[in-house]
Chain A
């Protein structure tokens, strides 16, 4: 497929991203660069200096709502991209409402509980919509441990075991691999 062809297809697609931290912000950047025309992004948090070691934000954005800072950065990549930015903590009802109409949904939450809630809600409440989730991306090295598994319209990226903690903090390279793997799967779904 030529660059023009795939960009013309992706420009008509909408992807939902739940969470705008290390996974969500970097996944959004990859999708924007790939030419996805419309993104729906939700996160309640604000940019902190500690986020800058792995998330797609800049020093002068510390204190901003992540969704607003991310929208600003994505528009610097592609001025024509359509972004629906929701500054809120997603719950079962808002998930279904905000992401309705998306061609693919990406789970980019931080906690296990939020991941489990989202997977359950989307799989049962939005039958037919592909969901790409992630589990296990902390630390460094073991690049080959991060892989994708697929069942029907559900994909799970990560090593499934490396939990973020004080002894295994999230670091830009490995978080970036997982984020871009989520974006890569989303693009594959959108172009298939």
Chain B
């Protein structure tokens, strides 16, 4: 399946069906980021239930220290 992740094309296997599976695949293990799917923000509690599909645009925004 072809996705856009942070403005870069990314191919993932057919087994990756949810946002949670995609984040695992991309090794986002520590939850210090926010995610948008097709410009809509997804709450952490909804990662596992959020289906992703061919052509989806995923933005993963890192939360880095500083304030």
- A binding-site residues for B, Cβ under 8 Å: 19, 21-24, 108-113, 115-116, 119-120, 123-124, 133-138, 149, 151-152, 154, 156, 158, 160-165, 170, 175
Contact = CB atoms under 8 A, between A and B. Distances in A.
Nearest to A23: B67
Contact of A137 (B33, B62, B66): B66
Interface string B1-43: 0000000000000000000000000000001111010011101
Nearest to B62: A160
Dominant secondary structure at the A interface: mixed
The 3 lowest CB-CB distance pairs between A and B, nearest first, are A164-B66, A151-B41, A163-B64
Given A123-B41, A161-B62, A21 B67 contact: yes
A112 B39 contact: no
B61 A156 contact: yes
Interface of B: 31-34, 36, 39-41, 43-45, 59, 61-67
A112 B32 contact: yes
B61 A135 contact: yes
Contact of B67 (A22, A120, A156): A22
Given A151-B40, A156-B61, A113 B45 contact: no
21 contacts: A22-B66, A24-B67, A109-B67, A110-B67, A112-B32, A112-B64, A116-B31, A116-B32, A123-B43, A133-B63, A134-B67, A135-B61, A137-B67, A152-B40, A154-B34, A160-B62, A160-B64, A161-B64, A162-B64, A163-B65, A164-B65
